[in-house]
Amino acid sequence: MLLKLIKEYKVIYIIVNTYLIYTCIAARCLHYEAMKVSKALDIGIEEARIRLSYIVGRETKNLSEEEIIRATVETVAENTSDGVIAPLFYIILFGASGGLAYKFINTMDSMLGYMNDKYIDLGYFPAKVDDIFNYIPSRITGILMCLGSLGRFHIKNGFKIMIRDRKNHKSPNCAYPEGAVAGLLDIQLGGNNYYHGKLVEKPTIGDKVEEIRKIDIKNTIEIMYRSEVLLLIIYIVIQLVS
Nearest CA to 210 among 187, 190, 180, 178? 187
| Calpha distance 225→81 (Å, rounded) | 11
Give per-residue pLDDT as tens, 4-63.
999 999 999 999 999 999 999 999 999 999 999 999 999 999 999 999 999 988 888 889
Angle between helices 124-148 and 155-164 in degrees, nearest 10 = 150
Residue 183 three-state SS = helix
Give the distance from CA 166 to its chain's centroid: 15
Is 58 contained in some domain?
Answer: yes
| Number of structural domains in the chain | 1
> What pLDDT does residue 201 have?
74
Is 99 contained in some domain?
Answer: no
Is 30 contained in some domain?
Answer: yes
> What pLDDT does residue 197 have?
67
> What pLDDT does residue 78 have?
95
Is 183 contained in some domain?
Answer: yes
> What pLDDT does residue 91 have?
97
Give per-residue pLDDT as tens, 104-147.
999 998 888 766 677 677 878 888 999 999 999 999 999 999 99
Give per-residue pLDDT as tens, 202-224.
899 999 999 999 999 999 999 99
pTM of the model: 0.92
> What pLDDT does residue 154 have?
96
> What pLDDT does residue 155 have?
97
Q: Provide the 8-state DSSP code for 153.
A: S
Angle between helices 124-148 and 215-241 in degrees, nearest 10 = 80
| Calpha distance 139→175 (Å, rounded) | 9
Is 156 contained in some domain?
Answer: yes
| Calpha distance 108→34 (Å, rounded) | 22
Is 231 contained in some domain?
Answer: yes
| Calpha distance 191→170 (Å, rounded) | 11
> What pLDDT does residue 114 have?
66
Q: Which domain holds residue 77?
A: 2-85+138-241
Is 190 contained in some domain?
Answer: yes
CB-based contacts of 171: which residues, under 8 Å, 6+ apart? 131
Is 43 contained in some domain?
Answer: yes
